[in-house]
Structure 1
C-alpha cells in the first residue's frame, strides 16, 4: 500500500459536541474506551464516510440534516452548527501530497468518479463488530445459516467478479458491470418478453441469455465463496486452533419464475434471492462415527466456537476484497469483537489480527480493559509497538445540568510512566502501587501461562498474586531455562514494600524513596529480560517446526529428529541466551539410544544421548545443547533463530 490513514476528524457527529480529532498517524491503533465515551462514534464516522462513496447524495446528506429523522448530528449542538466527518490520508511516496475527504450537508468529496484512490480504498475498507458478527453466524437451531442478505447489504458493492455481465439483448456492460452489486441490480431489473397469457416467454433469445446470466452469477459467486471457504478453514486450523472443524460455504441456484402461491400453473416471473449456506464438517473421536456434518451450527458449537467461525469467515471475506498495492489505503476496523470469548480463546484471535496488520492498517476498539492489556502485551512481545498508537478514552464527568458529554482522550501511559509521575510529585504510596503493577506486568510477560496459576487447597486454580509470581520466577522459571537465581533481578527484595506500601508508617521518608528508586532499577532489568523473550516455535507440530539434534564424540554421533509439543522460547540474561526445556515427540533416531515416543524434557533427551556417547565422562564435556539443534525445514541453527 502506498497510503496510510493519518487522522479522523468529527464535528458535532454522534457523541462529539464540537470538533474532535482522532490521530491515527499512519499507524495501527489500539483504543480502550469506556461505554459511552465516544469510541464507537469514531468507528461509525469512518464507516459512514467510506460508505458514502456509493450512496446517493441525499442518503449521505440526511446524516447531517437536523430536520431529518435519521440524522447523526450531536444532540446538544444547535441547528446551525456545522456537522461533518473528515479524513486525511498521507502518502508513503516521496513528493505526493496528502488526500483529504469530507462528508457534510453541504460538501461530499468522496464521490468524484475519476478518484481511483477513493474507489479502491473504500473497496478495501472493512469494519465489523460483535453485533454484525452475530447477525451473520447466530441463527435459531431450526434454521440454516443464510448469508445472502448480509452479502447483498454489506459486501456486494465491494466484490469484483472476473468479468462484466452480458445484458439480455446480447450487449456487454463493460467496462462497468464487474461488481456483484451491479450484476445483482441488473438481474433484478430485467423485464423479459411475455406470452399472451402474461407468462415469461421461454422461447425468446432474451430468456435464454437471462438464464445464462443467472448461471454465470452463481458461478462467479461460487468462485468467490470457494476462496473464502479455503481461507476461513486455513485460519480455523492454523490460527484459531480448531483443526477438527472444516466449513463448507455454498450458494444455491438463483430461483426464478416460481409458481405463484396457491397456483399449480401460473408462475410469478420474478427473481428470488438464492441462499448462501454455511455448514461444518467435524472430525472428533468423542463423536460416534468419528465425524459428522453439522447443518445447524448452533446445535453443535458453543458460543466461543461460533464466534471463531464467524471471525474466520469475515476475515476471509476481508482478505478476498483486500487491495494492498498501489494507490490505496486499506483499513480494517474492529469494534468490541470478542465479548463472548474467554482469555484463552482471545489470544489466538489477537495473534490472527496482528497477522492481518501486516498488509493493512488495523484499528481495534474495545471497552474490555483485560483484552486491551493482553493485546498490548502481545504487540510489545513481538517488538511491534513502534507501529502502533495506544489510546484511552473516557467520558469527562460534568455535573452541570444539561451539559454535553465530553471525551477525555489521551495516549495510554505505561505503569512505569505513572509510577515516575507520582514519584516526581512526592506521592510515594501511589508510585509504589504502580510499580507493583509494572512488576506484575513484566512477570506475566516472562512466565509461561501455566506458571502464572496456583492451585488452592480446595483444588481451585487461580491467578497467582505477585508473591506467587516471584516465587515461580525463582523456582520453576529458573529450572526450565537453567538460569541461576543470582543472575536475575532482585525484585523479591522489594516485594513486601510493593505489595502493601500503605501499611507502612514511613511511606514518605527518604528511606522509602530510596527503596522505590532501587525497585525501579530491578524491575527495569526484569523488563529487559522480558523484552528479550523470543519464540522459537509455537509447538503445534507443524512440519516447519521440525528439528534435528546431532551430537558427536569423535567418529561416534547420533541424530534425533523431533517435534516440539509446546511453545518453545528463549531469553537473554546478562548477555547470555538461555533456552526453555520443552516436551518433544521424537520422530526418528539414528541409533537405538532414544526411542520414537513422547518425552517430557528435551534437555533430558540431550543428556541421555550425551551420556551414551561418553560426553558426560571427564575429561570429555558435552557441547551446549542449543549448538546441536537446527530447524529441519529452514536449515537454520537454533542459536540463529
Structure 2
C-alpha cells in the first residue's frame, strides 16, 4: 500500500545510513528445531555458503529456518510447529538466531516472537522483499504438477514469481493488487450496474500491473536461459487472459474469469503446448530455474542497497547432469554478485566441483552428517571444510606424511597439483583441442597450456619447471599404488614444489 511503501522508504533509509558494508549473515544458530536436537551454530562469515549434507543430516532444516525467518508473510506458529520432537534437553525451546555483520544485536526468532511480527525489524522486513528460496519441489510447480494440461502459471505468478513486483506509480505489489481485486468483488447484485464500478477498476489496475511485471520478467528469462546454455529454447511471449468479474446470475457461479497465464515456448522452431511432456528433465529444470530467478530479479530493486539480498537453493539441480550444472555458477556470479547465496546439496561430487570452481575468499564450506548422541538420539554434526580445495588437499598430503602413508601423500600431492592447473587453465582461458570429457585433458597438456600462456613471466615458468622432476614418480596417476617404492624426502619435495607453484600462479 502507499503508506506501506512510505514505511519501506523509511526502513531503507534507516538501514542505509550511515553508509556501511552490505548487510550479510555472519552466523546462523538453530536450536531444538526440526533435525537439530540441540543448539548448533553454523558459521557463514559474511560470505556465500555451500553445505554438503547426507540425506537426513539436516540441510533442509537450514533451508526451512531461513525461509520461514525471512518470509514475506510470516506465520506465528511456524517455529512451534517445527520443534524437534526428541530434544536432548527437554527444557530447550526451539530458537533460530541470525547474527549479521552490522554489529547490532542478533535477530532472535522464538516461540513468543517472530522478528518480522508485529513491528518488523528493518533488517528482516527489507530482506524478506529481496530474498528467494527454491527447492526441487518449487521447480516442479512450473511443469510437473499440471498433468496433461498446458501449464497455467497464473497462481504461481501472483503468489510467488511476481508477487513482490511493485508498479512505478503507487508502489503496490502485484500480490496487493490481486488482494484488492478479490476484496472488490460485490456482495450484492442489483439491476443498477453501479456496483460493478469498483471491481472493474480493481481488475483494470491488476491487469496493468500483471502486464508490466511480465514485460519486465520476459527478457530476463531468455537471458538466463542463454546463460544456462539453453540457446535452443526461449519464451517468445506470455499469453494471458484479461481478468474480469463474470457477474454471474447465480451466486455460486460468481467469480473472476480469464485467470490464465501461459508461456509460449519456442524450441528450435517448434511450439510445444505441453512442455512437461516434450522437454527432457534437464531442460525442464533449466526452464524452471530461469522462471524463478528471473522473477526475483524483476521484483528486487536493482538500485544499490545495503539491505540483505538472500538466495537459498536446496537441491534444485537434481534434474541436471554435471555438464548442465556448471553454467549455474556463472549465472550466479553474473546476475547475483551482490546477493548472499546459500547452496545446499546432497551430491558429494557436485560439492567438490563447486569447491574447485569458487573464489576461495567469497565462500564458506561445510559438511553435515547425522550423528548419534550418547542418548541414542540423532542430531546433525557440522564439519567446516576449507573453501580453498588446493590448500586443503596439500594439508591432507602433509598429514599423510606425518602418518607415514607415503602413497596416499603422493596421491594427494598429485590431486592438488591437477586441481591447481585445471583451475588456472580455466581462469586464464587456456584453449585445448576438443574432448567430450574435459577430465581427459592430461596433466602434461594442462602444464604445457599454462607454460604457453605465461610465456615471458619467468617466476611462473620457473615454478612450473620445478614440478617436472616429480612428474614421473610422484605427480602421476600411479602415485597411489601401494607397491610403488617411495621415500619420504621425494614426496615432501613434490609437495613443496606444488605449494610453491600455487603461490606463484596465484600471484598477479
Q: Unaligned 5+ residue runs, structure 1?
A: 65-70, 92-96, 165-176, 195-199, 285-290, 455-460, 533-571, 573-641
Secondary structure at the counterpart of residue 241 of structure 1: coil
CA contact (8 A) 2:407 2:482 kept: no
- The reply on whether 1:493 has 2:487 as its aligned counterpart is no
1:398-409 → structure 2 map (5 Å cutoff): 398=372, 402-409=376-383
Other-structure match for 2:77: 61
SS of corresponding position for 2:300: coil
Q: Which residue of 1 aligns with 2:206?
A: 217
Q: 2:445 aligns with which of 472, 477, 488?
A: 472
Which residue number in structure 2 is paired with residue 515 of structure 1?
490
1:185 is aligned to 2:174: no
Query: For the residues of structure 1 that align with 2:205 and 2:363, how far apart are their CA atoms?
Result: 44
Deviation by residue 1:393-417 (Cα, 9 ceiling, x = unmatched): 2223x38573233313213362112
Matching residue within 351, 354, 358 for 2:333: 354
Counterpart check, 1:322 vs 2:300: yes
TM-score of the pair, normalised by structure 2: 0.82
Shift of the alpha carbon at 1:86?
1.5
Please tell me whether the aligned partners of residues 421 and 447 of structure 2 are also in contact (alpha carbons under 8 angstroms).
Answer: no
Aligned to 2:363: 388
Gaps of 5+ in 2: 1-20
Say which structure is richer in helix.
2
Shift of 1:223: 0.3
Q: Secondary structure at the match of 1:75?
A: coil
Are the counterparts in 1 of residues 69 and 114 from structure 2 also a CA contact under 8 Å? Answer: no
Alignment length, in residue pairs? 472
Note the 1:79-94 alignment, pairs <5 A.
80-91=91-102
**Segment of structure 1 superposing worse, 483-492 or 1-10:** 483-492
Give deviations 1:542-573, integer Å, cap 9, x for gaps: xxxxxxxxxxxxxxxxxxxxxxxxxxxxxx9x
Which residue pairs with 2:85 in the alignment?
75
Alignment check: 8 A CA contact 1:252 1:274 kept = yes
Q: Which has the larger radius of gyration?
A: 1
Give the whole-Å Cα distance in 2 for the aligned partners of 1:209 and 1:83.
46
1:576-587 pair list within 5 angstroms: none
Residue 243 of structure 1: aligned partner: 231
Question: What's the counterpart of residue 47 of structure 1?
Answer: 67
Instruction: Note the alpha carbon deviations across 1:155-201, whole angstroms, 9 max, x for none.
Output: 5653323344xxxxxxxxxxxx822232222322335263xxxxx34
SS class of match (2:320)? coil
Q: TM-score, length-normalised on structure 1? A: 0.66
CA contact (8 A) 1:3 1:329 kept: yes
Matches within 5 A, 1:39-438: 39-51=59-71, 54-55=73-74, 59-61=75-77, 63-64=79-80, 71-77=81-87, 80-91=91-102, 97-113=103-119, 115-139=121-145, 142-154=148-160, 158-164=164-170, 178-192=172-186, 194=188, 200-201=189-190, 203-237=192-226, 239-247=227-235, 248-257=237-246, 268-271=253-256, 274-282=259-267, 284=268, 291-323=269-301, 325-326=304-305, 328-380=307-359, 385-396=360-371, 398=372, 402-412=376-386, 414-438=392-416
Query: Residue 202 and residue 394 in structure 1: after superposition, are their counterparts in 2 closer, same or farther (change >3 A)?
Result: farther
Question: What is the CA–CA distance in structure 2 between the aligned matches of 1:80 and 1:401, rounded to whole Å?
Answer: 16
Which one of 51, 68, 78 corresponds to residue 31 of structure 1? Answer: 51
1:45 CA drift (Å): 0.6
| Offset, 1:259 | 5.1
* RMSD value, Cα: 3.3
Name the CA shift for 1:359/1:393 in 2 (closer, same or farther; >3 Å). same
The equivalent residue for 1:558 is none
- Would you say the 8 A contact 2:200–2:244 is kept in 1? no
Aligned to 1:613: none
Matching residue of 1:14 = 34
Describe the shift of the 1:31–1:497 C-alpha distance in structure 2 as closer, same or farther (beyond 3 A): same
> Does the CA contact (< 8 Å) of 1:54 and 1:111 recur in 2?
no
| Contact 1:127/1:333, CA 8 A, preserved across alignment | yes
Instruction: Give per-residue Cα distances to partners, 1:93-145, cap 9 Å, x unaligned.
Output: xxxx4253222212323224364433221110111022211222335573112
Aligned to 1:547: none
Cα distance change of structure 1 residues 192 and 463 upon mapping to structure 2, 3 Å threshold: closer
SS in 1 for 2:200: helix
